Structures are given as C-alpha cells and as structure tokens.
Amino acid sequence: MSAETVPLLLAETAAVAEPQLGVVKHLGVWSLLPPLLAIGMAVVFRRVALALLIGVVTGSLLVARGDVTEATVALFRDYLVGDSDNFREHAVILLFTTLLGTTIGVITRNGSMQAVISRLIRPGRDRRHGQQLTCGLGLAIFFDDYANTLVVGTSMRPITDRLRISREKLAFLIDSTAAPVAGLAMISTWVGYEVNLIGDVFSKLGQDVDAYGLFLQTIPYRFYSVLLLVFVWTVARTGRDFGPMAVAEQRAVSTGEVVRTGSSAPPAMDEIPGDIHRRGLIINAVVPLASLVGGLAGGLAILGSDAVLWVMLWASLLASLSSLLMTWGTGAISFRQSLVGWARGGGSMFQALWILVLAWGLGAVCDQGALGTADFLVEVTGRQLPPEWMPAISFVLAAAIALATGSSFSTMALLIPVSVRIAWELMGTPVPDDPILLGTLGAVLAGAIFGDHCSPISDTTVLSSAAAGCDHLDHVGTQAPYAFAVAVASLLVGYIPIGWGVPVWLCLPAGVAVAVAVPRLLGRVPVEGAGDASGDEAAISGPAPEV
C-alpha cells in the first residue's frame, strides 16, 4: 500500500475502526491551548497549581463555547470530580497517598526512621551507595508505579538527605524506575491493561493471537524503558551527573542544602523538637513498611491486578494503623505525640494532592469527548508516512500526546489501536510478530512513558515530586534532560534502525552501550568526600539504635 493512502486510512480508523474510542472529535489547534498554557505558565511563573487551574478553566470555557455557566458546571461535575469510576479511582489514590504520609509521619516522629538511617548509613557508605539502594528498591517494587513511587520516595528521603543527595536526584531516581519497571514487568498492574489493548486491536484485524505472548515479545522493543533503567543505574553507580542535575547535586554536596533555596518543596517531616522523649526502635519502622509492601504484594497475588486500588487502600491503612499500634505498644513516644506525627504526616501531602486533582482535571478536559487534544495530534501526523518510519513516528507521537495530556494510559489507549492498524495496512497484512509491528507497539508503550516523564502535568511526576519532597518544577527541569538524552538514543539506535531492518538483537546492546557511555562521558562527580556519610558526624552520631 502506498504512503498516499495513509490520510484516508487515518480518517477511516478515527471514524469507525475503534469503537472503544468513541466518535473522534476535537477543536483543532485550539485543543492544544489548555495544556500548552498550563505548561508555559508553570515554567514561567513557577506556580504549578495556579497554572493547572488556569488550564482547566480555559479548557472548560473552550468546550462550552464560552458559556460561563455551562463551563463552571462541567468544571466541577466532569473534570475535577469526573464520572463515578474515575472518582472512585482518584479517591482511592488520594487516600493511599494520605495514609502513606501518616505512616511516614509517625515512624519519623517516634525515632524509628532515624534508627533505620543510623543502621544503614555507616562509615564507608557514601552517596553512591544511597543512590544504588534507592534504585534497588525501585526495581524491587515492580508491581505498581504509584506504590513504587510513594513507598521508595518516602522511605529513602531521610536517608538520601543525610547523604547529601539532592531532592531533585531522589525524585529522578524514583520517577525513572517506577513506570519503566511496572511497564516491563511480566506481572504488574500495567500488564492487564496493555495486554487487553493489544488483544483488542488484533481481534479487530481478524487475528487470533496470544496477546500476552505479543506483550512479552514487545519488551526488547521498548528501548526507552530499558535504556532508561540502564541509564539510571549507571548514574547511581558512577555518581556522575550533567546539566541541571549536576548543579543540584553540587549544591547538595557543597552546602548540605538538599532543597534549592526559595523552592516550594513541602516541609520536612523530620523537623521534630529536641525535647520529645523518643526510643528509636528499628522494629517500629520495619513493621509498618513491611505491612505496606507485604499487603500490596500479597493482595495482588490473591486478588489479582483488577483489585489493585482496593489492595493499595487496605495496605496503606494497615501500615498506618500498625505504625500507631507499634508506637503505643513499645512506648516509643506519648500517645499525643504519635497523633501529632500522624496528622502532620498526612497534612504534608496536601499540596501534592491538590496539584494531582488539578492534573487529573486538565487530563479530563483534554480527553476525547471534550477538547480531543490527542485526536488532533494523531490527525495532523497522518501524512506521507512510509511503513519503515512507523516505529519512530509512533514513539514521537506517543511522547507528544503524553506530554500534552499528562497520561501514559490514555496515550496507549488512543495510539495502540490507531498505530497498529496503520502499520498493518501499510505493510500489507504482515504476521503479528513482524519486527516493524512489534517495534510500533513497543514505541507506543515506551513513548507514552517518555512523554509522561517530561510533563509537569503528569500524575506520576507530581507523585514523584511529593514523595521526594522536591519542588515540582525543579524535578521536571532536572529530569527532562536525562529523559530526552535517553529518548534520542532510543530513536537513533532503536526505532529508526528497527524500521529499516536492523535486528533488535543488535539495536538493544548498542542502545545499552550508549546509555552507559553518556553519563560517563558527559557527567561529573560533585566535590569528593563532601557527601560521604563517614565524614558527616550527624549521620551516625548518638547511641546505637535499639532493635
């Protein structure tokens, strides 16, 4: 099939081929205004919540054709609250985040977190060890990106602070392991969603395929996700950074300021009056965190990924209650002080929760049935597209849609049906495991994560900032150059060569080599010794922790 048929095919696909997407409609170039306005204002004025609110309000007015009354009703009914399914999902995530904050608040106030820190940070343990420990935890909690981000971030924050690792670096480490690991894992909350999308599109093409088998076959073709994990581990292992991240790390090492002066990072939960009598018992931190991780893993194993939201809620509630019960049972601090820690821990998440609600609202107003931002981006790219370029174009388009909408899942839902059908027709009905077809699938799945990493309106990016206690725009600004470097490598040694017949077993090792080389060649290590735990008496002073 010639490239000239692509516009017609796109029109057909958009109009009738994908019933689960509904009737595609958009407001043309105007559909880009709210996300671009929100992103631009956030960068210029550094007021993320205000920028998101203006973006949502602008989108509501555009959808309502300027009718203020209708826009106001839709703002609260459809976008900030959403339908019953979205409301339930969002409410559970907000509760999960808040309960996790209460847990960290209690174990910080009762001294058990400091006891864990003193045990982990011993002479000879330096900044690189702390970064590798963070990456290791990020890889271990592979079953859900939200749980990964919040558990690793809130657990490691006190440790990385003591090691003088910047909050920007911590946010990058947790954000760049959470989604890639969950997306690549053979068992996670992402798998069912991705397998369902793959099965649906091939069913509509009249192909009876093993959707899970195809999902596994796409893993080597998800260059961005694989290379990013290699890149992150290399950065952690070598301690080398470049660009804005190097500036943040040098600041942390030289001055001990893990947060930029003047940033809007949430207040630290470990600023506790020194006159509070505390017993730093390691078990008071281990039991709640083990309850959380064990509850998540066990609940998913028993109930399956369909019940992930309720598993997250009950696991976080179990962790929160166990933190209080352990504190009271061991007499670590008084009843009143434990409740103060519980309340302050939950309250420390408020800023992030508000931004999260607004980010969801902007995503809803950009969605199909409203502005149709993603549909417009798909439509304008459907011109003169040879099949050899399908993997590369799909990657770029997925990144653009995820950047504009802040949702990797929505990007997958829109692009997998469209891109796979286009590639299928352009190639003259190939076999399902054709390298270009697998490359196109892998490009959408990985490109959605890349765009998500660069978007200040992404919910997972917001959660990463909150978990790390980092200014949100500082996180985005330091992570974006790293994400972009890995994305360029994914295109040049991955998706472009794959389209032109280079086998994946050559492309993937070449990409891994690039991901290892970039930090080593471009990065630099902050002032040696300044961030070594052995030289920081505050990190290891005091009596040995009780077990």
pLDDT, position 77: 76
Give the Cβ contact number of residue 140 at 10 Å.
Answer: 14
Tell me if 499 sits within 8 A of 436, measured CB to CB. Answer: yes
For the chain, give the percent of residues with pLDDT over 90: 23
Which residue type occupies 28?
A: G
Out of 122-131, 284-293, 438-447, 459-468, the most confident range is 438-447
Binned at pLDDT 50, 70 and 90, residue 34 comes out as confident
pLDDT, position 189: 60
Give the Cβ contact number of residue 340 at 10 Å.
Answer: 17
Beta bridge partners of 524: 241
Task: Say whether pLDDT at 303 is over 90.
Answer: no
Q: Where are the domains of the chain?
A: 3-267+276-526
pTM comes to 0.70
Distance CA 225, CA 399 (A): 13
The residues near 271 (Cβ < 8 Å, ≥ 6 apart) are: none
Span 313-367, pLDDT tens digits: 888 899 889 989 988 888 888 888 888 888 888 887 777 677 778 777 877 787 7
Tell me if 247 sits within 8 A of 524, measured CB to CB. Answer: no
Give the Cβ contact number of residue 393 at 10 Å.
Answer: 22
Distance CA 529, CA 195 (A): 48
Give the Cβ contact number of residue 423 at 10 Å.
Answer: 25
Span 117-175, pLDDT tens digits: 667 666 546 788 889 989 988 887 776 677 678 778 877 888 888 889 999 999 999 99
Q: What is the DSSP letter of 525?
A: P
End-to-end CA distance of the chain: 70
| Nearest in space to 368 (alpha carbons), one of 106, 112, 19, 131 | 19
More confident residue, 267 or 455: 455
Span 392-428, pLDDT tens digits: 999 998 898 888 877 787 778 777 877 887 778 777 7
Q: CA 178, 184, 190 angle in degrees (round to 5)? A: 75
Tell me if 73 sits within 8 A of 92, measured CB to CB. Answer: no
pLDDT, position 125: 64
Question: If you average pLDDT over every residue of the chain, what do you get?
Answer: 78
262-266, 490-494, 510-514: which has the minimum mean pLDDT?
A: 262-266
Task: Say whether pLDDT at 53 is over 80.
Answer: yes
